[in-house]
C-alpha cells in the first residue's frame, strides 16, 4: 500500500539516550531470526489476546511504538492497511526493515513517542509492548501515543509490573536483582553480553525448567521466579536477560498505576489482563 520509508524524528526530551543505544545493540545481536516461529506466535498471542481486532475499519492505519526488531509487527502488518513502525534507534530500524521486507505496507520512522510524524487523531489503532517503561516519563509517553489515535481507536500497552500480585519474598528477590542490573547495565557491550548470557544459562534456564518440571507433576509453580519462561527457548531467555539486566533505564508499575496512567492519558474502557505477561492492558481513546 505504501513504500517503505525511514523518517528522522525531531529531537525530544522524553527519551533516555543510553537506553536507546542499548536497545539498538540488543536488537542487532538478537534480531529474532533464530527464534522459532511458533514460539514467537505464542508470545504474540499472549500480548494481543485482549486486542479488539474486530473493531477495526477496512484497511486500518496504526502504529507500533518502539518496534525494535519488528517481531510483533510481522504479525500485525498482514492484518492492516498501513503499519507505522517507530523506534528512536537507527540500528533497531535496520533490523526491523530487514525482518519486515515482505510487507510493503510497513513504514519506518526514526522517532520517539513525542516526535512521531503522523498527524494527531489519525490512527485507527496503536500498541507499544515492553517499551514505555524504558522512557523517563511513561505517563507523558502514553499521552503522546493516545494523541495519535482517532476517537474510539484502541491502544494496547505492556508495562513491566512491580510484582504487586506476588508474595513479599518474591518482591525482595526482585529488589536484589535490581542491584545486579544497576551494575551490569553500565558494562561495555561485550562484557554485558557475556554476563547476561551467563545469567540466562545459570539462572533463567534452571529456574524455568524447574517450574516446568513441577508443573508436569501437577505442582503449583507459579511463584517460582521466571515461571513465565517455562515453555520458552534458551534464545528467548538470552534475549530477555540482555533486556532485563542490560538496559540502563527501567521502571515498573502496579496494575492500578497502569490503569490510572491510561485514564489520565485519555483512554477509556480500560481492560487490564489477568493473564501473563503482567501487565497487558488495552483502552480506547475518549470519544
Please provide the average confidence, as pLDDT, over all residues in the chain.
Answer: 94
pTM given for the model: 0.93
* CA atoms within a 13 Å half-sphere pointing along the CA-CB vector of 210: 12
Q: Choose among 145, 108, 139, 140: nearest CA to 125.
A: 145
The SS3 call for residue 97 is helix
What residue segments make up the domains of the chain, in order of their start? Answer: 6-162+252-285, 168-246
For 26-49, the DSSP string reads HHHH--STTS-HHHHHHHHHHHHT
φ, ψ dihedrals at 7, nearest 5°: -120, 140
Cβ atoms within 10 Å, residue 136: 13
**Within a 10 A sphere around the Cβ of 88, how many other Cβ atoms?**
25
Whether residue 96 contacts residue 103, with contact meaning beta carbons closer than 8 Å, is answered with no
Which residue, among 232, 243, 286, has the nearest Cα to 40 in the 3D structure?
232
Mind listing the pLDDT tens digit for each residue in 149-201?
Answer: 999 999 999 999 999 999 999 999 999 999 999 999 999 999 999 999 999 99
What cell was used for 262?
491510561
What is residue 87's DSSP assignment? E
Per-residue pLDDT, 287 = 80
When pLDDT is averaged across residues 16-45 and rounded to a whole number, the result is 96
Q: Does pLDDT of 7 surpass 70?
A: no
CATH architecture of 6-162+252-285: 3-Layer(aba) Sandwich (3.40)
Q: What does the chain come to in residues?
A: 287
* Per-residue pLDDT, 214: 97
pLDDT of 6 reads 38
pLDDT in tens, 38-65: 999 999 999 999 999 999 999 999 999 9
**Burial of 125 per CB tally in 10 Å (0-12, 13-18, 19+):** buried
d(CA 60, CA 211): 41
DSSP class of residue 9 equals P
Mapping DSSP to helix (H, G, I), strand (E, B) and coil, where does residue 134 land?
Answer: helix
| Bridge partners, residue 109, by sequence | 7, 86
What is the full DSSP assignment across 49-80? Answer: TT--GGG--SS-EEEEET-TTSTTHHHHGGGS
Amino acid at each position: 500500500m505504501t513504500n517503505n520509508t525511514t523518517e528522522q524524528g525531531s529531537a525530544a526530551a522524553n527519551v533516555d539516550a543510553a537506553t536507546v543505544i542499548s536497545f539498538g545493540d540488543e536488537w542487532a545481536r538478537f534480531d529474532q531470526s533464530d527464534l522459532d516461529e511458533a514460539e514467537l506466535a505464542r508470545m504474540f498471542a499472549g500480548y494481543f489476546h485482549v486486542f479488539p481486532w474486530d473493531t477495526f475499519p477496512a484497511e486500518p492505519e496504526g502504529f507500533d511504538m518502539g518496534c525494535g526488531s519488528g517481531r510483533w509487527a510481522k504479525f500485525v502488518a498482514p492484518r492492516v492497511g498501513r503499519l507505522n513502525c517507530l523506534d528512536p534507534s537507527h540500528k533497531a530500524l535496520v533490523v526491523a526493515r530487514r525482518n519486515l521486507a515482505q510487507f510493503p505496507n510497513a513504514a519506518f520512522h526514526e522517532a520517539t513517542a513525542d516526535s512521531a510524524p503522523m498527524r494527531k487523531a489519525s490512527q485507527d489503532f496503536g500498541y507499544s509492548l515492553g517499551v514505555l517503561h524504558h522512557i523517563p516519563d511513561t505517563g507523558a509517553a502514553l499521552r503522546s501515543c493516545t494523541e495519535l489515535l482517532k476517537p474510539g481507536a484502541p491502544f494496547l500497552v505492556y508495562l513491566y509490573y512491580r510484582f504487586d500480585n506476588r508474595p513479599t519474598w518474591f518482591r525482595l528477590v526482585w529488589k536484589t536483582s535490581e542491584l545486579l542490573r544497576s551494575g551490569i547495565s553500565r558494562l561495555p557491550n561485550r562484557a554485558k553480553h557475556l554476563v547476561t548470557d551467563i545469567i540466562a544459562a545459570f539462572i533463567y534456564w534452571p529456574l524455568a525448567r524447574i517450574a516446568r518440571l513441577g508443573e508436569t507433576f501437577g505442582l503449583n509453580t507459579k511463584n517460582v521466579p521466571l515461571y513465565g519462561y517455562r515453555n520458552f527457548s534458551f534464545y528467548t531467555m538470552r534475549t530477555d536477560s540482555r533486556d532485563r539486566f542490560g538496559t540502563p533505564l527501567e521502571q515498573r508499575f502496579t496494575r492500578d498505576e497502569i490503569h490510572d496512567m491510561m485514564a489520565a492519558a485519555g483512554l477509556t474502557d480500560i481492560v487490564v489482563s489477568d493473564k501473563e505477561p503482567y501487565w497487558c492492558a488495552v483502552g480506547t481513546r475518549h470519544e
